[in-house]
Chains A and B, each alone.
Chain A
Amino acid sequence: MRIGVVTFPGSNSDIDALNALAVAGVEPVTLWHESPDLSGVSAVILPGGFAYGDYIRAGVIARFSPVMRGVKDFAAAGGLVLGICNGFQVLAESGLVPGALLRNRSLRFASKIVAIKPERLDSPFTRAANGAPIHIPIAHGEGCYYADEATLDGLEASGRVLFRYVREDGCPALDPDDPANPNGSLRGIAGVCNEAGNVAGLMPHPERMSEEILGSDEGMQLIRSLVESAKEWEAAGRPAPRTKAEARA
């Protein structure tokens, strides 16, 4: 099976996504930003980095790139799209997932290993996770998740908060000032998905904790989830996404 990793000019964690996919035993495919053709891949990762330099605002230029037309069509047809770090920012700017990523509350770039916990294990992006806190790195300056109260309530009610930052004891770091909440995200949100559940974004980097030699392979729980889900989607003949009504039901 082939999974695509988009390379925007300025992407840099595409190296990590390609490496993690190879570790997971699938064929990684580089997708160039200038073409909307996704060359038939079974899922897409938008990697970390600084797409188009992140000038103006992180992810805001990338949303207009030709490849994003292809990604939007792919998502609308039910394909799985995972945005990591800058990829999450691009998804948010493109309106494919709700909310926005603001500057870290510390106003500094933050690079360290954090703990996140999947809120549900029945999503395509978490199905291979064991439910325990996952320790993976963050590396971003603009990762403070923001949405208005109504949107946040809606996300929580519909189970679309996929990951929250948690303390060592596993309790979610809901307060933006909690030391375990590394960027001041509202309600401790580290990752969300769209209404249909096939497009997800998260700030931490699961693809960088992919091998024991790098400290751990805890991040592979999420990469394997994506791979399994993509396989299932292919096996089922690429079904269309659930409608809004189905998703709400």
Chain B
Amino acid sequence: MTDVTTTPSAPAGPEPLHRRLGVTDGELDVIREKLGRDPNHTELAMFSVMWSEHCSYKSSKPLLKTLPTRGSGMMAGIGDNAGVVRIGDGLAVAFKIESHNHPSAVEPYQGAATGVGGILRDIFTMGARPIAVLDALRFGDPTDPRTRHLVDGIVRGVGGYGNCVGVPTVGGELVFDPSYQGNPLVNVMAIGLLEERMLILAEAPGPGNYVVLFGSTTGRDGIGGASVLASATFQDDDPNKRPTVQVGDPFAEKLLIEASLELIDRRLVEGIQDLGAGGISCAASESADKAGTGILLDLDAIPRREPGMAPWEVMISESQERMLATCRPENYPAVREVCDRWGIPIALVGRVTTDGDIAIVEGGIDPDGEPNPSAKEIARVPARALTSDAIVHYRAATPPARRRQAPAPGIPLTAHDGLPERGMDPAAVLAALLGSPNLSSRRWVYEQYDACVQSNTVEWPGHGAAVLRVKGTRKALVATTDGNQTVSALDPHLGAQLSVAEATRNVSITGARPLGITNCLNYGNPERPEAFWQLQEAVRGMGEACRALGIPVTGGNVSLYNEYPGGAIAPTPEIGVVGLLDDISLLVRPPFTTVGDNVVLVGQSTPGMAGSAYAALAGISSEDAPPGIELDREAALQSFIREAIGRGLVASAQDVSGGGLAVAVAECCMWSGLGAKLRLGVLGSPAIELFGESPSRLVLSCRPRHAPAIDLLARQFGLHAETLGTVGGERLRIELTGQGATGAAEERGSGVADALDVSLADLRHTWDHGLARALGAEPGPAYAAEAAEAASPGETA
């Protein structure tokens, strides 16, 4: 089958309707086949949203099927609104990550806000109370005015929604990379907690049951959001697309959370589904298909916020904060009472049927659930055809003509004359890295997010993974997001493996056991074979990493068409992880804790600097490649640190990643206020040892008396542990020793290798101000004027 979105030889005149709705000629033929006739306008609109990439996964489905999706304690997974995993004590955790990239590029505040709202609905739709949000954001050049506009609006949008709805934002990422210049990424992860008995699925069982719609009314906002915005290559910020962005109302969502959880708790509804992409069409067809039923909808009964809406507009509107539920007729009065009490409009809009169709009528339904004699059928489509039996495209995948190969792990370290470390001053490089937009403190962002509402936050944002206690138990949940786009741009398979490894490592170093991963795959146009190859390689790498680590994929989201006239984004596999710590008193964090502790590096560096923060700063030789990963070693490292923490041997543990060992240790120092004096053996190149980002490494500190036990345990796991020095003082000092310990001092003929010797105060100052400085976020003249105006007494005095 050929995919033709536009045909150069197309005759002049208006585009046919299906193409304007994003349905290709080939897809229209399949629709005709499934219906046995031509679709009418409403039906075509329903197919266009449901067969969009966003709703149908039509390009990615064949790939996603290869992922490991089973794990112990899983109650719900891929195909459900969110993954749900048991955590004991009769409790379970629900979590999922989702993208809202294109809406945020068009209208940053509302795009990001509704991204938060959408993912929260996925959580409470499962019967879970949302307890945390993490936001992973990616932008272009931070000094560019448009980037600053996007950063400001998106950060305000995430905060504006999360703060109001009362769910703390406890972590996430903020990354700048030129490839996101025209296409920022907004990936939002939400976590919820539920009693196991609360679990409910998005289905519409029981023919004769009532179908009710509650929450906000239906309007023209967000028409075609899924099909037009999320599933097509991006053409600048076209003002004509503004109406496709949804508008969020966190106050309405807060009421919706409380009402929905009460309905589920009291068993008043049989199934419940939120209205997200694809609106009523999606919620109705998925609910019916999952239960093997059909739904008859009374179009006139759907509450509107504006007159004159065409049936197709009602069916695909993506107005926010709406829920579709199925209830037994005898429970309807109680359902109404709950919604009335929370001040939420509710309407009886249809019946569950046996025919497997989504049928829409105008003119009403009689008390027996049949259309009134005078009613007119507007549309009739098999639910399956819209969802489980939707079209699947087997896209062509072609690797780019020229790409780099990672050096195999374990190949001998050699001094690499191509690397620019000769002549470098390690202290200056460390300062530059710590103050860089990607590694400096994210404080400017997270201070705009309520991080502690609900009284669960143990670890605030800023110092590694987020930690939330589970009230009424000794347990804690540990959560993080990570995605490596720089290596993915060079090698999408390796980049995805590294992303899974880093995200899970960040959970394991607290002592917690990762329960599962959720993923947001941000890639380019799948109709381009090179972009589809990137996606295919990433899914392969992600699956391999999850299998090696014994962690299931519990859900996720695919965001394709992340392209704009300037090019495609770097492939970005965003990985969200939730881990369980059985006893919160064993929690270990990255900052050093005690003067005199040993500092131990576990794991060994491997060659390759490509894709590192150092490479972005200093450049690298053209033949260099990113460091590879041995997944078995990664699994051993994570098992080792969890075991060591469980035995009470570890005082602090920190992952070695962006900026390498030097940045990792600097963070342990800055975050604790304790210095360290270390000695680092350099075999090959100082740049690799200090700033290389080869995976499967961590820095821990421990009481000196525990050092032999740590060493022994590491050997049992087949790992190399090396004591680098001790915690103490107010400076970070790293001496370089060994045959590769060369540097500027040697160039000057001193014959002694350079040491890195810096005060913590200096490091902290650089790190603390880097981001705000890069964004120009210090108050300027215009800002001061606005502030003065806002602070004037006005009418509130």
Binding site for B on A (CB under 8 A): 9-10, 12-13, 15-16, 19-20, 48-50, 52-55, 57, 100, 102-103, 105-112, 137, 139, 141, 144, 146-148, 176, 184, 205, 207-208, 210-211, 213-215
Q: Is A10 in contact with B164, judged by CB distance below 8 angstroms? A: yes
Comparing B47-55, B323-331, B659-667, B787-795, the segment that makes contact with chain A is B787-795
- How distant is the Cα of A52 from the Cα of B160 in the complex, in angstroms? 15
Tell me the B766-796 residues at the A interface (CB within 8 Å).
779, 783, 786-787, 790-791, 793, 796
**Known A105-B791, A144-B791; 6 more pairs at CB < 8 Å:** A9-B254, A10-B251, A146-B791, A146-B796, A213-B469, A214-B452
Q: Is A208 in contact with B455, judged by CB distance below 8 angstroms? A: yes
Residues of B within 8 A of A49 (CB): 166
Which residue of the partner chain, among B446, B458, B797, contacts A213 with CB atoms under 8 Å?
A: B458
Q: Is B793 in contact with A146, judged by CB distance below 8 angstroms? A: yes
Residues of B within 8 A of A13 (CB): 166, 453
Chain A CB within 10 Å — which of B252, B255, B448 has the most? Answer: B448
Q: Is B166 in contact with A12, judged by CB distance below 8 angstroms? A: yes
Q: Is B791 in contact with A184, judged by CB distance below 8 angstroms? A: yes
Q: Is B164 in contact with A53, judged by CB distance below 8 angstroms? A: yes
Q: Is A111 in contact with B447, judged by CB distance below 8 angstroms? A: yes
Which residue of the partner chain, among B159, B779, B793, B796, contacts A57 with CB atoms under 8 Å?
A: B796
Q: Is A107 in contact with B790, judged by CB distance below 8 angstroms? A: yes
Known: A108-B448, A213-B458. Is A139-B254 also a contact (CB below 8 A)? no
Which residue of the partner chain, among A108, A139, A144, contacts B452 with CB atoms under 8 Å?
A: A139
Q: How many inter-chain residue pairs (CB < 8 Å) link A and B? A: 119
- How distant is the Cα of A174 from the Cα of B667 in the complex, in angstroms? 33
Q: Is A214 in contact with B455, judged by CB distance below 8 angstroms? A: yes
Residues of B within 8 A of A100 (CB): 796-797
B175 at the interface (CB under 8 A from A): no
Known: A103-B790, A109-B450. Is A15-B796 also a contact (CB below 8 A)? no
Known: A15-B453, A48-B453. Is A148-B448 also a contact (CB below 8 A)? no
B165 at the interface (CB under 8 A from A): yes
Q: Is A53 in contact with B165, judged by CB distance below 8 angstroms? A: no
Q: Which residue of chain A is the closest to B467 with respect to CB atoms?
A: A213
- How distant is the Cα of A16 from the Cα of B796 in the complex, in angstroms? 28
B383 at the interface (CB under 8 A from A): no
Tell me the B649-691 residues at the A interface (CB within 8 Å).
none
Residues of B within 8 A of A20 (CB): 455
Residues of B within 8 A of A184 (CB): 787, 791
Residues of A within 8 A of B779 (CB): 106
Q: Is A102 in contact with B790, judged by CB distance below 8 angstroms? A: yes
Residues of B within 8 A of A105 (CB): 787, 790-791
Q: Can you show 13 pairs from A to B with CB atoms below 8 A apart?
A: A10-B164, A15-B453, A48-B453, A50-B250, A53-B251, A54-B164, A105-B791, A107-B790, A109-B448, A111-B451, A146-B793, A148-B793, A210-B455
Tell me the B235-281 residues at the A interface (CB within 8 Å).
249-252, 254-255
Q: Is B343 in contact with A12, judged by CB distance below 8 angstroms? A: no
Residues of A within 8 A of B250 (CB): 50, 53
Residues of A within 8 A of B249 (CB): 53
Known: A15-B454, A102-B790, A148-B797. Is A50-B251 also a contact (CB below 8 A)? yes
- How distant is the Cα of A20 from the Cα of B454 in the complex, in angstroms? 11
Q: Is A213 in contact with B584, judged by CB distance below 8 angstroms? A: yes
Nearest-neighbour CB distance to chain B for A82, whole angstroms, equals 17
Known: A10-B164, A15-B455, A146-B797. Is A139-B450 also a contact (CB below 8 A)? yes
B525 at the interface (CB under 8 A from A): no
- How distant is the Cα of A55 from the Cα of B163 in the complex, in angstroms? 14
B394 at the interface (CB under 8 A from A): no
Nearest-neighbour CB distance to chain A for B114, whole angstroms, equals 16
- How distant is the Cα of A12 from the Cα of B343 in the complex, in angstroms? 16
Chain A CB within 10 Å — which of B249, B254, B791 has the most? Answer: B791
Nearest-neighbour CB distance to chain B for A149, whole angstroms, equals 11
Nearest-neighbour CB distance to chain B for A1, whole angstroms, equals 21
Nearest-neighbour CB distance to chain B for A13, whole angstroms, equals 6
Known: A103-B790, A111-B449, A208-B453. Is A9-B458 also a contact (CB below 8 A)? no
- How distant is the Cα of A105 from the Cα of B785 in the complex, in angstroms? 11
- How distant is the Cα of A109 from the Cα of B458 in the complex, in angstroms? 21
Tell me the B310-348 residues at the A interface (CB within 8 Å).
342-343
- How distant is the Cα of A111 from the Cα of B456 in the complex, in angstroms? 15
Residues of A within 8 A of B450 (CB): 109, 111, 139
Q: Which residue of chain A is the closest to B792 with respect to CB atoms?
A: A102
Which residue of the partner chain, among B342, B455, B786, contacts A9 with CB atoms under 8 Å?
A: B342
Residues of B within 8 A of A54 (CB): 164, 251
Chain A CB within 10 Å — which of B159, B250, B452, B456 has the most? Answer: B452
Q: Is A109 in contact with B159, judged by CB distance below 8 angstroms? A: yes
Q: Which residue of chain A is the closest to B790 with respect to CB atoms?
A: A103
Residues of A within 8 A of B452 (CB): 111, 137, 139, 205, 208, 214
Residues of B within 8 A of A144 (CB): 791
- How distant is the Cα of A213 from the Cα of B446 in the complex, in angstroms? 21
B385-423: CB near A (< 8 Å → 1, else 0) gives 000000000000000000000000000000000000000
Residues of A within 8 A of B790 (CB): 102-103, 105, 107
Residues of A within 8 A of B252 (CB): 53
- How distant is the Cα of A147 from the Cα of B797 in the complex, in angstroms? 6
B457 at the interface (CB under 8 A from A): yes
- How distant is the Cα of A176 from the Cα of B791 in the complex, in angstroms? 10
- How distant is the Cα of A107 from the Cα of B789 in the complex, in angstroms? 11
Q: Is B164 in contact with A50, judged by CB distance below 8 angstroms? A: yes
Q: Which residue of chain A is the closest to B255 with respect to CB atoms?
A: A9
Q: Which residue of chain A is the closest to B252 with respect to CB atoms?
A: A53
Which residue of the partner chain, among A50, A55, A108, contacts B254 with CB atoms under 8 Å?
A: A50
Nearest-neighbour CB distance to chain B for A186, whole angstroms, equals 9
- How distant is the Cα of A144 from the Cα of B454 in the complex, in angstroms? 24
Residues of A within 8 A of B797 (CB): 100, 146-148
Residues of B within 8 A of A15 (CB): 166, 453-455
Residues of B within 8 A of A9 (CB): 251, 254-255, 342-343
